[in-house]
Amino acid sequence: MAKPISTGTGRVRLKDVALAAGVSPITVSRAFSTPGQLHPQTCQRVLEVAQTMGYVAKRRPAEHTNRRAVIGVINPQLNNPYFHELACAFSQLGESRQMDVLIMDSHDSPSQEAAAVDRLIACGVDGIILTVISADRRYRPDYFERLEKAGIAVILVDREVTAPHYGGVYIDNLDCGYQAGMWMKGQPIKRLLILSGPSDSMVTIGRVSGLREALAGSQIALEVHYGDFSMAPAEHFLNERLKHPPLPDALIGINNQITLGILAAYRRAGLSLPEQPGGPRLFCIDGIARAELLGIDIPSIHHDLVTIATQAMDLVEDALRSGSRRGSRQVVRGHLHLPGETD
């Protein structure tokens, strides 16, 4: 990694980055304008050197030039099928709209999320579509101020925060919970366990509130566990919970990763898997991609990821055309998927 150097002028220039990275100035220019023309390792090295030296490429509005707009997409977990499919949708839309899309994974890490943002700023992107790592509406890392200062339009997806942004596209979490609760209400069950995310998460609050609203007045005994949105913590909790009867005869995983944790815990305990003969009822909000191929077709809420991606890309294009930093808040409703149905 290059060390910061003094140029004598106080401002790092493109040729300074080229010298430090051991490449030509045209290579540095291409790393920011047309990264697809470079070998990935060369491009990565140039961007890392530029970031270390504090170099920021001059941004030329795409609508005033012949170049393609460059859009950065940052997801928290690309190994999560939900975010992976969403990233694929952004990539395909970028190609059809003649826009270059750079996809980055923050790995649910605050430091890696900030590094991804800074790298995209250094690349001179025109806009960023961002799913932050936190579902806490109060989440406001420092990089939002850097993005605002750089004049880069930020579109939020899936998770809403109060930090400066142009607009956002979100899932109707209250409705997701309500649909799941209404389906469970019609089942012959007595004890329902909901495995949820953090209690202060807006996603959790919306989905659990919808569930409680739908189940109000029923005779179902409700147990809610607040934990994490990932698989391992849900599996760990349930490993212990299954040792203490009475066991639930129905479960709801608040997202797909939690639901995978439920399935793993039941298998580890040697119990009949949910939605199989002798097992409890199970409902998954977000759905598990291609679970039916494993013989487990779970009632779930599916989201139209192409619609979500399309609306986010529309907001980016609107921001680039208008130059405004104030956009709209759009909400996409999920739909109920039952076993045997095709989307």
Per-residue pLDDT of 105-154, as tens digits, reads: 999 999 999 999 999 988 889 999 999 998 787 889 999 988 988 889 99
- The pLDDT value recorded for residue 6 is 42
- The pLDDT value recorded for residue 8 is 45
pLDDT higher at 27 or 300: 300
* 34-61 residue pLDDT tens: 776 778 788 888 888 887 887 866 655 5
Q: Is 5 a residue whose pLDDT tops 50? A: no
Q: Mean pLDDT over residues 259-264, rounded? A: 94
Of the listed ranges 5-9, 150-154, 267-271, the least confidently predicted one is: 5-9
Closest residue by Cα to residue 320 from 129, 161, 185, 182: 129
Buried b (16+ CB within 10 A) or exposed e, 152-170: bbbbbbbbbbebebbbbbb
- The pLDDT value recorded for residue 7 is 42
Q: pLDDT confidence of 9, banded at 50, 70, 90?
A: very low
- The pLDDT value recorded for residue 1 is 42
Q: Is 292 a residue whose pLDDT tops 70? A: no
Closest residue by Cα to residue 103 from 92, 124, 87, 89: 87
- The pLDDT value recorded for residue 262 is 95
- The pLDDT value recorded for residue 148 is 86
Q: Does residue 118 contact residue 106 with C-beta atoms inside 8 Å?
A: no
Joined tokens for residue 11:
């401002």
- The pLDDT value recorded for residue 324 is 63
- The pLDDT value recorded for residue 127 is 94
Of the listed ranges 15-24, 51-60, 331-340, the least confidently predicted one is: 51-60
Q: Is 41 exposed, middle or buried (0-12, 13-18, 19+ CB in 10 A)?
A: exposed
Query: Which residues are CB-contacts of 135 (< 8 A; sequence separation ≥ 6)?
Result: 159, 197, 198, 201, 202, 203, 204, 229
Q: Is 240 a residue whose pLDDT tops 80? A: yes
Which of 76-80, 224-228, 297-301, 318-322 ranks highest by mean pLDDT? 224-228
Angle, helix 14-21 to helix 25-33, in steps of 10 degrees:
110
Q: Is 203 a residue whose pLDDT tops 60? A: yes
Number of separate helices (H) and strands (E) present in the chain: 11, 12
Q: Is 103 a residue whose pLDDT tops 70? A: yes
- The pLDDT value recorded for residue 343 is 59
Q: Mean pLDDT over residues 281-295, rounded? A: 80
